[in-house]
A = this chain, B = another copy of it.
Amino acid sequence: MSHQFSGEEREAVYQVIESRRDVRAFRPDPVPERTLQRILDAAHHAPSVGFMQPWNFIVVRDRATKARVHDAFLRENARAAEKFEGERGRLYRSLKLEGIMEAPVNLCVTCDRTRSGPNVLGRNTIFDTDVYSTACAIQNLWLAARAEGVGVGWVSIIRHEDLHQIFGIPEHVLPMAYLCIGYPREFLDEPELQRKGWAERVPLDELLYYERWGVRPAVDAA
Contact = CB atoms under 8 A, between A and B. Distances in A.
Interface of A: 1-5, 8-10, 12-20, 22, 37-38, 40-42, 44-47, 49-53, 55-62, 65, 76, 79-80, 83-84, 92, 95, 97, 110, 116, 119, 121-126, 128-129, 131-133, 135-136, 138-140, 142-144, 146-149, 154, 156-160, 167-170, 173, 176-177, 186-189, 191, 193-194, 198-202, 204, 207-214
A133 B186 CA distance: 23
Contacts of A187: 1-3
Contacts of A119: 83-84
Contacts of A202: 44, 53
Given A57-B208, A128-B131, A131-B132, A122 B157 contact: yes
Contact of A42 (B17, B193, B208): B17
B14 A5 contact: no
Given A147-B13, A156-B123, A19 B3 contact: yes
A209 B58 contact: yes
Contacts of A146: 5
B2 A59 contact: no
B15 A16 contact: no
A61 B210 CA distance: 8
B5 A16 contact: yes
Contacts of A191: 51
Which residue, of A44, A121, A160, A177, has the highest number of chain B Cβ atoms within 10 A? A121
Contacts of A123: 156
Nearest to A54: B207
B16 A1 contact: no
B212 A126 contact: no
